[in-house]
Structure 1
């Protein structure tokens, strides 16, 4: 488990997933704003150089988040958390990763990317005897502009659209666009934000919500955001976002939470499957 997590972290911070690279190449080919096109070329050159040198794509190697699905018959169930924490410490030294965990009250940094509730682990118990996880190194620049809004329930979908556009306009160039915008709607404040982060960080670019209505809304917001003209790294042009992903939960009648989470162009994720015999594979 620990070795699988170290290798997944290494892969995540050095290699962009194929869907993200393809989206960036497509944006570059379509862009006709010279300043924005130059930014996209610099991004693609950076991605290629990181792979060639085996170095992290970005100096901000993020706050480490694990999304875990584990079979209730998996023999190592009781030591998963310990293994993931140890893997984070090892990866910090071996990759290396920038130490990014800071106590919010004392300012102390332990220097190994661990701390209270960090790495953060989302758990899902499933049938079976294997472990599957995805690790997301979430950068601070895009996280800093995340937003939770509570439009009046009577505004309905119009309130959702307004909240998303407002968040993108306020974020501007801060989250290093072109970004992936994750939108979580409904539930409570915590549920909406969790859904928004999953939508931004886990879903592959080029996919749509299976609900036809939400798929249409994703396309509509994608078009509307790109028409704002913020563009790559705020330089204008056609591509402010690479994708808009929406997830939802049923809500309380008195509330209508809308959470917006941004993922920068360096949309890093890698996954691993660990079998009951200890063998594993890492993939993107």
Structure 2
């Protein structure tokens, strides 16, 4: 039986790992970027990023001073009975992680700007639950700082716009973000759905590892074209020029109204922080990073 305490402790560990250790696929992508880069300033920044990651992991300290806010995606099996409030347990986990990791207090009231020392508040953390068949339980965590969140965009396009127009607005968003989004970025794109589902799909897209190809052949081709075009913009690491503006582009789509075409663009910075936990032999364990 999965207890509230063991669930909460696993979520604390998810946050700790996401904040201090980069997933292997992102680390490998940064190393490849360094190997192909020739601009001295770009190489310097990539080397500093890799050194920063090494120190963070060794010292178990946050990778970035902006420890971000937390979005959880939960897949909960229909037959997996939980005898506790999942959302409440996650909120408690954020409070504990804020004290223990420790994390900077980032959550504030949107109007008074009064801070929450525990990084919690209304809809903080954000929790999205999908009911699935069976008894499985899977949690994914996306950590995003304000730099990337502020650069994210939603375009309500004409339904007849077409793929070329979608590519144009995504590249425009990348170009306008410049160095503000702490590149090299991973760019999530949500196509279709509604105003809110497009942005949700864009964020979910950021959770797919860089070494996992899009199962949709047409979306895989679009991802490749956008990545290639973005890396020709010469924005480069931290916006100071170079061959690597993005480490990858990830796309998800959803059916939409015949008279609508939402396109959302969600940025993730080079400390592409994420973690994952799932049930293994009846116990909830962190499996990534």
Q: Structure 1 length as normaliser, TM-score?
A: 0.96
Match for residue 230 of structure 1?
A: 235
- Please list the CA deviations of residues 29-81 of structure 1 after superposition, one character each: whole Å capped at 9, or x if unmatched: 11111111100000000000001111010011110111111122323254211
Q: Please tell me whether the aligned partners of residues 208 and 218 of structure 1 are also in contact (alpha carbons under 8 angstroms).
A: no
> Residue in 1 aligned with 2:252?
247
How far did 1:276 drift? 8.9
Map residues 161-176 of structure 1 onto 2, 5 A cutoff. Answer: 161-176=167-182
- Is there any run of 5+ residues in structure 2 with no aligned partner, and where? 1-6
Q: Aligned-pair distance for 1:144?
A: 0.5
User: Is residue 96 of structure 1 aligned with residue 95 of structure 2?
Assistant: no
Q: Does 1:156 align with 2:162?
A: yes
Give per-residue Cα distances to partners, 1:236-266, cap 9 Å, x unaligned. 1110000011111112121111111100011
Confirm or deny that 1:212 pairs with 2:212. Answer: no
Q: What are the Cα deviations for residues 210-249 of structure 1, in whole angstroms up to 9, with x where unaligned?
A: 1111111111111000001000001111100000111111
RMSD, aligned α-carbons: 1.4
1:264 aligned to which of 262, 269, 274: 269
Structure 1 gaps of 5+ residues are: none
Give the 3-state SS of the residue equivalent to 2:161 in structure 1: helix
Cα distance in 2, alignment partners of residues 129 and 79 from structure 1:
17
Q: 1:149: Cα distance to partner?
A: 1.0
Aligned residue for 1:149, secondary structure, equals strand
Partner Cα separation in structure 2 for residue 25 and residue 275 of structure 1? 31
Matched, 1:121 2:121: no
Cα distance in 2 for residues equivalent to 1:272 and 1:264: 22
Name the CA distance, whole Å, in 1 between partners of 2:281 and 2:112.
41
Moved more, 76-85 or 233-242: 76-85
Q: 1:203 aligns with which of 190, 208, 213?
A: 208
Q: 1:142 and 1:245 mapped to 2: Cα distance?
A: 15
Structure 1 residue 95: Cα displacement:
0.7
SS in 1 for 2:213: coil
Contact 1:129/1:276 (8 A) holds in 2: no
- Number of residues paired by the alignment? 282
* Structure 1 contact 74–276 (Cα < 8 Å) conserved: no
**Higher alpha-carbon deviation: 150-159 or 40-49:** 150-159
143-152 vs 126-135, which deviates more? 126-135
Give the structure 2 partner of residue 112 of structure 1. Answer: 118
Helix, strand or coil: the match of 1:154?
coil
SS state of the match for residue 283, structure 1? strand
